[in-house]
Every structure is written in C-alpha cells, then in structure tokens.
Amino acid sequence: MCLAILALGAHPDWPLVIAANRDEFHHRPASPAAPWSDAPDIVAGRDLQGGGTWLGVAGGGRLALLTNVREPGRQLPAAPSRGRLVEDYLRGSLSAADYAGQFNVNADEFNGFNLLVADLDGVHYCSNRALTRRLPSTGGVFGLSNAALDTPWPKLTRSRAAVAALLSTSAQPEPEALFAILGDRTPPEDGLLPDTGVGLQLERLLGSPFIQSETYGTRCSTLVLQHRSGRVEFRERCYRPTGEVQGESVWTRALGTTSAKAAGGSGWV
C-alpha cells in the first residue's frame, strides 16, 4: 500500500472513508480481496509471497492498513514481512490502542513501515520511523504514503485535498469519484518531487497517485466506506500492468458482525 487517504468524521453520514492504492511489482503474487478461508471474518487481499496483507477489515469494526517507508540503503534482507503486522492485528484480540502501543518498543526487526489500526474506539497510527499517536475522530482528512503520516508529497496533498473536497460537497462518497482520485496519473513538476534517494527518473514514476509501468505500479485500489448506520462497504479494483481494470470486488458487512457477504450475491462485479 503506497497511498492511503483516511477521512474521519469529514462527512455527516459517513464517519469513516478510506481510499487507498497498493503499489507493488507486478510479478509478486497476490490474491484479490475476499473473506479468508481460514478466518472468514477477515476481508482482505493476500500477499502470496511474503504472507499477510496490506489492507483488511474484520469483525468488531477492526481495520488495518500498511505502507512501507521508502529508504534505500536501510533495508534488512532477512526482515519479516511487514504485511504480517496487518494480519496479526486482524486475527488478534488486542485493542487498536494496545496493538499500536507495542511498536514504541518492539519494531526494530522490521524494515520501515507505517501502520494504521482501528476498532470501534478509534484509529491509531504507528510506525518504527515515527511516534505512535491516536487520530482525532472528527473532521480530519489524513494522508499516508511512503513516509510519515501527512508528509506533504505532491501525490498525497493532491489526493487528500480532492477527497476532502468531495466529502464536503457530495451527499455521499461516490465510489467512481473516489476511484478517479486514486486513478490520477498526472505527474507533479520535478521541483515538487521528494528526494528519497532513488533518483529523479524513479521519483517521477512514483510521483503520481496512480503508478503505471510494465514492472511496477498500482496493483489495486481499495475503498472502505462506513455509514453511520453501521454498514461497511469494502471495494477493491485490480489492475493489469497496462493500467487497465482487471477485476472488481465489493463486500459488505454490518459493523460489529463477524461475517461478510458479497454485494449482489457475488464477490465480483
């Protein structure tokens, strides 16, 4: 997951809105979002190489998403998969606050990560490169890419502003409008790009919200929409290396339940 916009209390009827892109090498095997056969209350994709997942929801209002920290030259080759952090939280019983709190003292074994964990009591940001903190529950729109929370990279500030504007002017968060924000392929000006040590050509490729190339790019876009009634909708749209849509799934559940059903009677629409 390389771009995530999180809106908390920014819409009167939709207290939680997440719009996120997962960027990864196209050859890395993964399965699309669905209830897990060994844990049916979890709805998420699966990383079939390293294990775990990048974003998922579970019963009891549990949610987690992860982005890697871009820091070339500071990688531990034998580090465990960061996707396990999302899986461990979704499978576990710790509250979001307790799960986040443990990373203040026990995260050096992992390469750099950002992790958002949520339950019915709130949303917490944790990282092994930044301080853990609880996010305010009302009126906030936050952005996360491959640096600390709300680091003002152009792709993040552009997407965050677009989501905030949409929620402030629309009766409901239209999925197609959110997917359009995530699908923005407009590159920023070179002078606005961050310098993360990967070189200007790669910074340009990684600079837009949606990344498209033959080897690395946006593999899927995900929306998590929670209505004030308690209904949660999980939408995932997967892409080919060409940037064309490969498939889409829509899963719904009532907040607090431990089962999910596919919208329209099928997991794929």
What span, in angstroms and rounded, lies between the C-alpha atoms of 64 and 66? 7
Q: Which domain holds residue 64?
A: 3-265
For residue 147, report the phi and psi dihedrals to the nearest 5 degrees: -145, -175
- 122-127 β-sheet, strand order: 30-36, 39-47, 55-58, 62-68, 113-119, 122-127, 133-134
pLDDT tens profile 202-247: 999 999 999 999 999 999 999 999 999 999 999 999 999 999 999 9
How many structural domains does the chain have? 1
User: Which has the closest alpha carbon to 233: 211, 218, 214, 248?
Assistant: 248
User: Which has the closest alpha carbon to 4: 89, 50, 47, 63?
Assistant: 63
- CATH number of the domain where residue 140 is located: 3.60.60.10
- 3-8 β-sheet, strand order: 140-144, 3-8, 16-25, 216-226, 231-239, 245-254, 261-262
Q: pTM score, two decimals?
A: 0.93
Q: Considering only CA atoms, give the Rg of the chain.
A: 17
pLDDT tens profile 21-76: 999 999 999 999 999 999 999 999 999 999 999 999 999 899 999 999 999 989 99
